[in-house]
Structures are given as C-alpha cells and as structure tokens.
C-alpha cells in the first residue's frame, strides 16, 4: 500500500477499526504486533502516515488525535491513481491490468463504464 511498511499497515488497521480519532498512546495500546513498541516509535509512524496523507490529525488538548484519511478502499484507489500518474504511460498500464484482470474485476469495470456512459447521454 503506497510503500506502507508492516508497522504502518498495522497502525492503519487500528485506526480503521476505531470509531473515533485516537491519541498515540491508545493506538500503541491497541497494536497487536507481538512486540512492545515505544510511544515515540508509534508517534513517528503516525507522523509519517500524516505526511503521506493516510491519516488526518486534530489537536485535542495537548495531544494529537489521529483518524484515517479515508476508507481502506478509498486510500488504495488514491494510491493506484497516483501510481498511474507517475508512469508516464497510464494507458499501457491499464491495458496490462485489464488483460490480467479476473472475470469479477472485469465485470466491475464494465459496470462502472456503463454507468459513466449512461450519465453522459
């Protein structure tokens, strides 16, 4: 996921499961990485995720509270869009993707294309 490391992905999982924004300490307490992490480690990961625009943060008293910048699907789609934009040849990349797509993926693509065509008539 857009160069997310294992710990970044684990932090995102915690935030996606939360119903409200979380402070660093609570994110650290909810992580199930199998090892004890320092507060500063989790804080650094959250700062990096904020810089990468995967999380939003808001000040609550003296502490930052973090929440995902979108659903897992929205953020992955945004990542795919950014990757396409960096290739210089998004049409070729899309052709390769379409040729390798499963029947289910192709059906979803057809549905979206049909919806878009219907909206432009």
Give the closest residue to 43 by CA, choosing from 53, 28, 59: 28
Which structural domain, as residue segments, surrounds residue 11?
A: 6-68
Q: Which long-range contacts (CB under 8 A, 24 or more apart) does 28-33 make?
A: 33/7
Residues 36 and 17 in one domain: yes
Confidence (pLDDT) at 47: 97
pLDDT > 60? residue 121: no
Q: How confident is the model at residue 117 (pLDDT cuts 50, 70, 90)?
A: confident
- Pairing relationship of beta strands 63-68 and 22-23 according to DSSP bridges: antiparallel
* CATH for 59: 1.10.10.10
Residues 17 and 58 in one domain: yes
Residue with the two structure tokens 């499961």? 17
Write out pLDDT tens, residues 69-84: 999 999 999 988 888 9
Look at residue 76 and tell me if it is in a domain: yes
SS3 44: helix
| Overall number of domains in the chain | 2
């Amino acid at each position: 996921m857009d160069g997310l490391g294992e710990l970044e992905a684990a932090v995102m999982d915690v935030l996606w499961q939360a119903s409200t924004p979380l402070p660093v300490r609570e994110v650290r307490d909810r992580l199930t990485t199998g090892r004890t992490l320092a507060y500063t480690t989790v804080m650094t990961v959250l700062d990096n995720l904020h810089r990468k625009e995967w999380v939003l943060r808001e000040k609550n008293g003296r502490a930052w509270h973090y929440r995902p910048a979108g659903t897992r699907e929205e953020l992955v789609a945004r990542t795919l869009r950014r990757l396409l934009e960096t290739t210089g040849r998004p049409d070729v990349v899309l052709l390769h993707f379409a040729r390798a797509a499963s029947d289910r993926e192709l059906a979803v693509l057809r549905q979206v294309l049909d919806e878009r065509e219907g909206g432009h008539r």
